Amino acid sequence: MIHHPSISAWRTARATPGFSGQRIGFVPTMGALHAGHRALLERARAENDRVVLSIFVNPTQFNDPADLAKYPRTLEADLALVGPFVTDVITPAAESLYADGYRYRVTEATLSRELEGAHRSGHFDGVLTVVLKLLNLVQADRAYFGEKDWQQLELIRGMAHALFLPCEIVPCATVRADDGLALSSRNARLSPTGRARAAKFPETLRSAPDAARAAAELAAAGFGVDYVEDREGVRLGAVRIEGVRLIDNVRL
């Protein structure tokens, strides 16, 4: 595993003969890696000659500065976790990725303003912009994204299609704990009691007869409910517990 701590270091390496003729898989992350990320990397390793991982806490997708400040930075632990699956790790600095001061950005006009977008102003502009930058830098054949972030995945697929990006966007199934809660870096911020209660979230999304009933049941169980909606055969929800915001979706 080779660590490229800057964009310039990565570009120098990417231009070497070692990448010539190699099929490249790419997994973009914000670090604080867990078994869900590992599953993405395992699949990328199985389907490609080289696997590139990026670790970058993207400031432009946080609408709440306090949320950005609380996001865990665990680089050493992350690198130890991914060693068996990754050939290259990129950890760019924000001032390099956003040398333009975020003057240029990607905006989607419809889906990005609903669901998560309705509660997190500008969030998807930040997501799409950083993903486009990273895809351009890595020049991967395939990029892997988890289905837990359904709306994000749909928007990235749409961007890749609309902008003729020569990279296949590969969806990967949500990885869950034994009690059904989707793995997320945010879970670590819950107390043991809150973590146990959080399992009620995916259980209710699955069992409720409709989205309105699911929202009512979650509110009655003490969750702050931002939304529960059914879209294209998928039930999506976002809730708050102990000040931590969780999102999930289940197939209907």
Instruction: List Cβ neighbours of 61 (8 Å cut-off, separation of 6 or more).
Output: 122, 123, 124, 125, 126, 127, 130
What was the pLDDT predicted at 67? Answer: 87
Write down the catalytic residue from 37, 119, 123, 161: 37
Question: Do 88 and 52 meet the contact criterion of CB atoms below 8 Å apart?
Answer: yes
Which residue, 100, 162, 171, 87, is CA-closest to 133?
Answer: 100
Q: Please report the pLDDT score of residue 175 as a whole number.
A: 96
Q: 5: which DSSP letter? A: -
* pLDDT at position 64: 87
Q: Where are the domains of the chain?
A: 2-172, 185-251
123 has catalytic annotation: no
Task: Kindly report the pTM of this predicted structure.
Answer: 0.95
pLDDT the model gives residue 108? 98
Over the chain (252 residues), the average pLDDT of each successive run of 10 is 96 96 97 94 97 97 89 90 93 97 98 96 97 98 97 98 98 97 94 98 98 98 98 96 96 94
**Residues 2-172, CATH architecture:** 3-Layer(aba) Sandwich (3.40)
Predicted pLDDT of residue 3:
95
Which run of H or of E encompasses 59? Answer: none
Q: What is the pLDDT of residues 120-150, one digit of tens each?
A: 999 999 999 999 999 999 999 999 999 999 9
CATH code of domain 185-251: 3.30.1300.10
What pLDDT sits at residue 72?
A: 87
